[in-house]
Chain A
Amino acid sequence: GAVVSQHPSWVICKSGTSVKIECRSLDFQATTMFWYRQFPKQSLMLMATSNEGSKATYEQGVEKDKFLINHASLTLSTLTVTSAHPEDSSFYICSAIPGTSGSGEQYFGPGTRLTVT
């Protein structure tokens, strides 16, 4: 149980284009999902908290107009990187919390590797 999927697993796009990444909880409902970014040999950096039916909460320094988050249902959150640039190339990982748990038990997706050329 507690499986989270991401699609695509790997994407290459040209500078200036937009890319959408999907995060799905497959066997549970998730009121809250999170989006992280990870650089090589570094830990996860929280970008934003995605809440079903409401606006996402972005961490300090994360451009909300560049990283659009939509949590349209209890099993799906999407991250759209708009007008991507090479510096946006990174490993993006989502996570989800089952139900409305306040215990920090997060389950992570397999990640999406974005390369902007």
Chain B
Amino acid sequence: QKEVEQDPGPLSVPEGAIVSLNCTYSNSAFQYFMWYRQYSRKGPELLMYTYSSGNKEDGRFTAQVDKSSKYISLFIRDSQPSDSATYLCAMSAGNMLTFGGGTRLMVKP
């Protein structure tokens, strides 16, 4: 079993939809949680960074962490075609990141 599980998708939604991306993990030592967006042939871009359980909102993006369930989510409101990318969850107990496999999202105009 992988330490971090993420549905690979692809996830296809119409423009304007609310998107929900999720990861589950098994290592209870993880306390820092991140979401990265990666466009094709580009490096990952840090979207959201959260520490411990709770919600964090930044514009159209909301990150949720539920440490009791070992479950994290990223919500994208009013999705746009420009949001089409691969979304990677990542988590750590220190400096080393453990990544999910990535979810490919396609937002259709």
Which parts of A65-105 form the interface with B (CB within 8 Å)? 91, 93, 95, 97, 101-105
CB-CB contacts of A101-117 with B at 8 A, as 1s and 0s? 11111111111010000
User: Is A104 touching B34 in the complex (CB atoms < 8 A)?
Assistant: yes
Name which residue of chain A comes closest to B51, CB basis.
Answer: A103
- Known contacts A43-B102, A103-B32, A103-B51; is-contact A108 B96 (Cβ 8 Å): no
Asked if A42 is at the interface of the complex by the 8 Å CB criterion, the answer is: yes
The answer to whether B96 touches A42, judged by C-beta atoms less than 8 angstroms apart, is: no
CA distance A104 to B49 in the complex (A): 9
Judged by a CB distance under 8 angstroms, whether B99 is at the interface is: yes
Q: A102-B94, A105-B34 are in contact. Are A93 and B43 (CB under 8 A)?
A: yes
A56 adjacent to chain B (CB < 8 Å): no
The answer to whether the Cβ of A25 comes within 8 Å of any Cβ in the partner chain is: no
B32 A104 Cβ-Cβ under 8 A = yes
| B residues less than 8 Å from A113 (CB atoms) | 41
Instruction: Report the minimum CB–CB distance from A57 to chain B (whole Å).
Output: 10
* Chain B residues near A102 (CB-CB < 8 A): 94-95
Q: Are A105's CB and B49's CB within 8 A?
A: yes
A91 to B41, CA, bound (A): 8
- The reply to whether B43 and A106 contact each other, CB–CB distance below 8 Å, is no
The list of the 10 closest CB pairs from A to B, nearest first, reads: A104-B92, A108-B43, A104-B32, A111-B43, A110-B43, A108-B44, A43-B99, A43-B101, A102-B94, A93-B43
Provide 12 A-B residue pairs closer than 8 Å at the C-beta atoms, listed in order of the A residue. Answer: A4-B43, A42-B102, A43-B99, A43-B101, A44-B44, A44-B88, A101-B95, A103-B92, A105-B49, A106-B90, A110-B43, A111-B41
